[in-house]
Structure 1
Amino acid sequence: MNKLLTIALVLLVFSCKTPEARRPVTVKTGSFIDASVERNKQLNAKEKAFIENLMKQQEKEYIASGNGFWYYYNNKVENDTLKTPAFGDIVNYDYNVKDMNGSIIYSAKDIKTQTYAMDKEELFTGLREGLKLMKSGETVTFLFPSQKAYGYYGDENKIGTNVPLICEVTVNSITENQTP
């Protein structure tokens, strides 16, 4: 009996061990992400060089935006009383989309006149930021690198993966947001 009690006590002490976490069979590193970042940096540098070369060939006064794209005014409105759109303002505009060779992908007729509630609706990044720079009556030509246009996915129609774009945009009117 004493022997049986001793064995039971020993088994009880050694079986009360806390569970140990199992180690993963494979350890993943950030190599895929690192490679993706490197590819995107190279793509961005290549597109930037291409766009800068294109700008040198044209005799336009391009402005580099703080948002990673370039533009020039086809028609600039010098009236200081006109304002650029703010959050919630309704912008009525026309635009076309071209590839970097100047070939039209979507004409203004294809796209039709657009109405956009500033920062409240979906719009590709470059165009959304570009509209914020414009006043009513202005026409601006934008050069968007692919990450400011449709990026990796394209538009799933005529614009493919990582395609930089040229967009000529005319703001017809800006209606101020009336909601407080």
Structure 2
Amino acid sequence: MKKIIFISVLGLLGCNRNTQIHPPVGGVLSQKDLDVSRERMKNLNGLERQQIQDWINTQQVKYYSTQLNYWVNAEGYDKRERRQDNTLISYSYELYDFDQTKIYDQSIERRDARFGHFEELKAVENALRFIRNGEEVTLLVPSSLAYGTYGDEKKIDNDIPLIIKLKAL
């Protein structure tokens, strides 16, 4: 019995000594933690941008970089007239990984969404501001503008860049 108690105490002490404390989601982080996180995202974004650019170089379709840090297959896209807040738009999109495997069987579709009042991926919301009615575009999106470090908690893992086929209905 003494051996079991001794081993249990050693195990608890061993676990306690190397445990790193993480604040809960929404908790307060120190400046050092924020700096580490910022540097990680900067490095990840640079790596993903290079990987996306390498992928673009193998494609026959031309993609253009936008001001928000994603690519679109329409030249001068983000220089078009911008849709204003409170205007309505109906749209659908499909998500793919960079192996061009469709992630969800069903398209994601929204009817009469009002700008400034709906939550969407940053790149999708930005692209919808410039899309023409009936137009279909393909977006190449780094993970920071997609589902980020948490994923969608379903089929999309963390830190995954996406191909988004977006259409204004």
Question: TM-score scaled by structure 2?
Answer: 0.74
Question: What amino acid is the match of 1:97?
Answer: L
Moved more, 48-57 or 85-94: 85-94
Among 140, 149, 152, the residue aligned to 2:146: 149
RCO (CA 8 Å, sep 6+): is it higher in 1 or 2? 1
Partner of 2:133: 136
User: What is the total number of aligned residue pairs between the two structures?
Assistant: 136
1:38 deviation in Å? 1.4
Displaced runs of 4 or more, over 3 A: none
Instruction: Provide the alpha-carbon RMSD of the alignment.
Output: 2.1
Amino acid at match of 1:162: D
- The C-alpha deviation readout for 1:74-133, integer Å capped at 9, x for no partner, is xx9xxx9xx6532111111121000111110124xx135312211211111111001112
Q: Any gaps of 5 or more consecutive residues in structure 1? A: 1-27, 173-180
Residue 12 of structure 1 is matched in structure 2 by none
Rounded to whole Å, the distance in 1 between the matches of 2:116 and 2:164 is 19
Deviation string, structure 1 residues 22-71 (Cα, Å, up to 9, x no partner): xxxxxx96332222121111100110000000111001121111011001
What percent of counterpart residues are identical? Answer: 28
- Tell which structure's C-alpha radius of gyration is larger: 1
Normalised TM-score (structure 1) = 0.69
Residue 42, structure 1, aligned to residue 38, structure 2: no
Counterpart Cα distance in 1 of 2:116 and 2:163 = 21
Q: Residue 110 of structure 2 corresponds to which residue in structure 1?
A: 114
Q: 1:32 to 1:136 in 2, by over 3 A?
A: same
Question: Among residues 89, 92, 96, which one is paired with 1:91 in the alignment?
Answer: 89
Tell me which residue corresponds to 1:52.
Answer: 53
* 8 Å contact from structure 1 (residues 84, 135) kept in 2: no
CA contact (8 A) 1:85 1:135 kept: no
